[in-house]
Amino acid sequence: DAKTTQPNSMESNEEEPVHLPCNHSTISGTDYIHWYRQLPSQGPEYVIHGLTSNVNNRMASLAIAEDRKSSTLILHRATLRDAAVYYCILFWSGANNLFFGTGTRLTVIP
């Protein structure tokens, strides 16, 4: 499995934007970049995914570097409910599992 590297933890003030980085220098051309998050005492929750172009949905935006070796998950206005562990995962379309790694623990400060 191609691996990703994320900071162990980050902090953000409430209502400010948050940029969560992910490095994936060994990404292959068929790997999709997925982001999941896990709120305390809950199962992982899908956030967003993309292949080459930047993506937006109601939860977040995903900015993908031109060489695809890194990406950034953007939460436009962090709320207390966004405090979670965020996982960046590479996933090719024929894969059978998600390799989660240890993710980034986001703390949102009121």
Partner 1 sequence: EAQVTQNPRYLITVTGKKLTVTCSQNMNHEYMSWYRQDPGLGLRQIYYSMNVEVTDKGDVPEGYKVSRKEKRNFPLILESPSPNQTSLYFCASSSSGGGKEFFGPGTRLTVL
Q: Which is nearer to partner 1, 93 or 110 (CB)?
A: 93
Q: Which is nearer to partner 1, 30 or 79 (CB)?
A: 30
H-helix or E-strand spanning residue 33: strand 31-38
Task: Check residue 44 for interaction with partner 1 (CB under 8 A).
Answer: yes
Give the sign of the dihedral formed by CA 81, CA 106, CA 72, CA 6.
Answer: negative
What contacts 91, CB < 8 A, 6 or more positions away?
A: 31, 32, 33, 34, 49, 98
β-strand pairing of 31-38 with 45-50: antiparallel
Q: Which is nearer to partner 1, 16 or 46 (CB)?
A: 46
Task: Check residue 42 for interaction with partner 1 (CB under 8 A).
Answer: yes
Task: Check residue 29 for interaction with partner 1 (CB under 8 A).
Answer: no
Which two three-digit tokens encode residue 7?
A: 């900071």
Task: Check residue 50 for interaction with partner 1 (CB under 8 A).
Answer: no
Q: Which is nearer to partner 1, 13 or 28 (CB)?
A: 28
Task: Check residue 91 for interaction with partner 1 (CB under 8 A).
Answer: yes
